[in-house]
Chain A
């Protein structure tokens, strides 16, 4: 059976997963302060999920480094977070970071001058942006998700008008 880890699972733990959280109010199977170190052995999980949690952590690079460590080679990592143009990015007093659909490029593109930022290697298999309903109707969401050049154009020129809602990454762990 594939082992699934749900980090910051809260009250909506992914079915069949092992949930880890700091708060006992949720459905966590493992209760600890996991932000610096995940209490698991190297290469343990087939899938790791971080749903509406990455925007709250103290250090994104450190957490994703730990995710990389506990994931098996070829494991898939799903990350979902508000796009920084959505009002939900600002609704929570726990949201430290406001992110765009290119915020994790350090992990996959490895820009030469900044490769020391993120030693962990991930392959970005798919990035999906959800926009507000009105813009979905107009086909903006379709364009963003089917043409990378349009997503870039949208992030640079259009995203304060045609506002985003959530960003979802499907990453593959490269070891």
Chain B
């Protein structure tokens, strides 16, 4: 939306969506953008609309325990590794969530930690054990703080 960027298309995502036809792209990349939008659910629905069936959506966004989540006054949302469960089939304890109808599969969900915790092996544990990931989110993440989350979703239509 800002003309001083390298954008090929200037538009306002929050007002009127993206000016592309349905099923246009093989991949959408949203790096450090989802935490800025006015409505995450509507934005993901718009990404889903313009992605081909089987195409992917890549998102990178700060974990809410990283200082960068609070450094920018234009960050509206503070997210964690479970923030997109509403879009997965059976994402809410085995049931579908009714906030949105669009569905996607989580192909990758990687969280990097601050360098010190990576050196001590916590980043490996958080990304290789689902049990440890949950324990970390519930009990440890204000001490062993997160940094960047990278998600890849596969669009289902």
Contact = CB atoms under 8 A, between A and B. Distances in A.
B142 A163 contact: yes
B83 A91 contact: yes
Interface residues of A, number: 21
Given A93-B77, A93-B83, A87 B141 contact: yes
B18 interface: no
A32 interface: no
Interface in B55-112: 64, 76-80, 82-86, 98-99
Contact of B83 (A85, A86, A90, A160): A90
Contacts of A119: none
Given A11-B98, A93-B86, A98-B78, A87 B44 contact: no
B40 interface: yes
A94 interface: yes
B38 to A, nearest CB: 10
A132 interface: yes
Contacts of A87: 80, 82, 137-138, 141
A94 B143 CA distance: 26
A96 B142 CA distance: 20
A86 B139 CA distance: 9
Given A94-B99, A98-B78, A163-B139, 10 more contacts: A23-B99, A91-B83, A92-B86, A93-B83, A93-B84, A94-B41, A95-B77, A132-B139, A161-B143, A163-B142
Shortest Cβ-Cβ A-B pairs, 9 listed: A25-B98, A93-B40, A160-B142, A90-B80, A91-B82, A87-B137, A90-B64, A87-B138, A93-B83
